[in-house]
Structures are given as structure tokens and as C-alpha cells.
Amino acid sequence: MAVTVDKTAPAGKGHNAFAMAQAQFDGVAEYLGLDAATRELLRNPLREYHFGIPIRMDDGSMKVFRGFRVQHNDARGPGKGGIRFHPQETVDTVRALSMWMTWKCAVVDIPLGGSKGGVVCDPHNLSAREQEQVCRGWVRQISHDVGPLLDVPAPDVMTTPQHMLWMLDEFEHIHRGHFPGFITGKPVGMGGSLGRTEATGFGVVFTIREALKEMGLRPDATAASVQGFGNVAQYAIRLYEQLGGKVLCVSSWDQADQTSYSFRKATGVNLDALLSITDRFGGIDKAKAKTMGYEVLDGEAWLAQEVDILIPAALENQIRGDNVERIHSKVKLIAEGANGPTTPEADAVIKKRGIFDIPDFLANAGGVTCSYFEQVQSNMNYYWERDEVLGRLDVKMTAAYLAVSELARKRGLYMRDAAYVIAINRVVEACKQRGWI
Ligand code: GLU
């Protein structure tokens, strides 16, 4: 199906993420023949909150940070989705991400809706105390419009289990009681689930494993290149290597230079060695990497490697019309660990070249699936063993992957479109049953 993008979207590299999410939805809505009211309901968020978060900084000055929560759709259950801390955060990015959360929860068939939050800030430049104040301030501004039965936040880009615990603590002070189901991604032992930290990266690799099986390829005969070196990338590399795959290149953001670099080793990167020279945001030390024998290349070099698999696991808008041609002819599979890494122009080229693409809201659904398990455990106040969590995660991710790939094969659809068809149908059905449309 054809995807057209709103050309009025702000200029810049890539697209306005919300215009991109709407264009993807519109293409599938047309294919499904959805009526006008249904389209109107689902191409926009149901509710959104914009607020200021005043913080007293360590030097005594006051600063106001912009915060958001966007609730796209909660027909299938309470809203669910992470909170990002990022200096370039915009409300349109949060809108897009909230919409993608709706489809993500629906495609893995968990009883949750889609939301997303954000704060315009750079935690690299905030002390631990200032970060705590941002977390508590975010909850204070929205404490009556989120909650275990309404909308449940989680970690995302540059937010951590510690941030989640500060948010929970503030929520519990305001509402007087213990409400561990208010937030997920909490530290283990404080209401968190074993396996949650690994879940997104591992989930990406569960889908890669299934795709390789369908292609008749053994993981130990493949090589991959990864964009990003944060939580998702690190655990994806860990499990992919356990399956026998070799990662030849990773990229990471360099805070000092305000750009990213790629790190390549022809014999394969050493995950533990790289982790020993990586900061808490996933930034790899260039000088130390060089002494370890890594070639340090430009930030997009990860895309041009002679590998079988590409795993974009950083941010949205990374594979675009202006760089998609850098993808090596050997690449057979792209597994989108990030949300929205591929713009519609790049997607069209990937489709034409016959590269198999596992779309973001399917490939990276392991995080929210494990968040759902965490909520279940928190509500029961009974916690499972790590193997039980990861076993259930594997079952859920594999079933979702197989349902999408089967539909794609049957109807001759691109994987992203097949995933959308399943997700949108489930959400439309829930809205109909509730009498919303
Ligand atoms: N931030 C993750 C995502 O984009 C996880 C969300 C959650 O666990 O609620 O899927």
C-alpha cells in the first residue's frame, strides 16, 4: 500500500515523526477500508498533557523543563508507554511514539493501550538530585491523569529504573498508599521484574531468530551491524552472540563531540570489553576503543557494513532517503530495535530491494510485554524467576512474529503493513465493542 507523507511537516533531516506515524496509519486504513470516524479517532491521540516542571538547580537558580504525556488510545486497556528524557524532544515525537505504543501492545495482544511521555532535558548535564526533581516534578504535574488503572509509564531513551522508582515514590506520597502497578521498569527488589532490563533487546533477537529460520539461515552463519549502544543494543548483541552470530560494528553517541561514531572490528566486537569503556548513556570512549583495536568511523558507517543483519537500536529517523543507498547489497534482514528508525522514503527502497524488515512495533515489543508481566507480578505481589519471565516473553514474541509473517505471506504484504493490519484490526474491534465508533 502506498504511504504518503504530509509535506508540511517541519523540514530537517528525515521527517516529523507524527506525520510519519499518521502516514503509515493512513496507508493501512485505506487498505482496510476504515470509515472516516474510525480514521479520525485513530490517527490522533485521545488526550494530551503539556506542562512545565519548575526545578531548583544545584546552583540555586530555578529552571523550568517542558514535560508531556500523550495518551493515544486506551480502548484495549490502560495506556502504556515510556518516558523519554531528550534535549530534542518534541510533542510531535511523543505523539508518534504514543500511537506506535497502541499498535505495539495490540500486535503482541496484551490488554493495554498506547501512551508516551517526555521531558525536554539532557540528563548528561543534570546531577542525580536534579534528575530526581525532574522525575518527581513530572509526576506532580500529572498525578491524577496517570495510574495503575489509567496510564502506566516505563523507561525509554535516557530514563532508568532509578528514575522510575523516584516517580513511583512521588505518586505514592500523593495518593497515600502503595501502588507498584503505577509504573514499570522498577529496580528488581523494589517491584521490578527480573528480565525487564534485557527484555527489549532479547525480544528483538527472538524475532531475528524466527526470521532467520524462515529464511533457512543459521544464526551462527550470520553477521550483524548495530546502531546504538544503549540498553536495547547491548542486550540484543548479548543474545545474538549467544546464538552464535557475530557483530562487526556498533555505533554510539559522543556527548563531547555532539555526534555519533561507528566502531568496527573485522573479527567481531567484544561486548564485555566495549561495556568496560562505555558510560551509563551508552557512549563508547573513542580513544580507549582505538587502543583496543577498533576502527573509529563516521556515525552512519554502521549502515554500510557488509553484514546479513542491520539492527537500528537508537532513535527515530535514522534510515532515510539520503542514506538508505548506503545499505550493503549483502544485507537481508533489518530488525528495528528503535521506534520509528526508518522513514517512508527509506522504507520504499528497502521494500524494493527485497530486504526483509521486522517493523519496530513488532521487533521491539519485548520491553512492553515484559512491562505487562511486571504489572501482573506487582498486582499479585508475587515475583517470578528470571527464566519464567524470559520463557513467557519468548512465547509471546514468537507467537506475534509468526502471526504477522503468516499474514504477510498469505496476502503478499510487506511485514510492516501486515503488523499494522493485525494491530489496527484489534484496536478497531475494541473501539467498536465499546461503542466509540
Ligand atoms: N519504552 C519501551 C517501548 O518503547 C517500553 C514501554 C513500556 O514498557 O511500557 O516499547
pLDDT tens, 155-183? 999 999 999 999 999 999 999 999 999 99
- Residue 7 in this model has a pLDDT that exceeds 80: no
Distances (CA, A) of 108 to 151, 407, 420, 429: 18, 14, 12, 15
pLDDT at 1: 58
Is 116 a catalytic site residue? yes
Q: Look at the alpha carbons of 412, 417, 422, 424 in this order and tell me if their dihedral is positive or negative.
A: negative
Q: Which atom of ligand 1 is nearest to the CA of 81?
A: 9
- Residue 214 in this model has a pLDDT that exceeds 60: yes
CB 174 within 8 A of CB 139: yes
Question: From the CA of 81, how far away is ligand 1's center (Å)?
Answer: 5
Question: From the CA of 59, how far away is ligand 1's center (Å)?
Answer: 34
The residue whose CB lies within 8 Å of the most ligand 1 atoms, and thus the one to mutate among 74, 93, 371, 374, is 371
Name the DSSP letter for residue 85: E
Question: From the CA of 93, how far away is ligand 1's center (Å)?
Answer: 14
> What does the block give as the cell for 386?
528470571
- Residue 6 in this model has a pLDDT that exceeds 90: no
User: Which pTM does this prediction carry?
Assistant: 0.96
> What does the block give as the cell for 89?
524532544
List beta partners, residue 254.
Answer: 259
- Residue 2 in this model has a pLDDT that exceeds 70: no
Nearest 5°: phi and psi at 247? -100, 120
Between β-strands 333-335 and 309-312, what pairing exists: parallel, antiparallel or unpaired? parallel
Q: Which atom of ligand 1 is nearest to the CA of 364?
A: 10
pLDDT tens digits along 55-85: 999 999 999 999 999 999 999 999 999 999 9
Enumerate residues lining ligand 1, CB below 6 A.
80-82, 104, 154, 156, 184, 339, 364, 367-368, 371
Q: Look at the alpha carbons of 337, 345, 47, 140 in this order and tell me if their dihedral is positive or negative.
A: positive
CA atoms of 83 and 182, how far apart (whole Å): 13
Among 80, 104, 116, 186, the active-site one is 116
Q: For a pLDDT cut of 70, what percent of the chain falls above it?
A: 97
Which domains, and CATH codes, for the chain?
46-181+188-194 (3.40.50.10860), 197-363 (3.40.50.720)
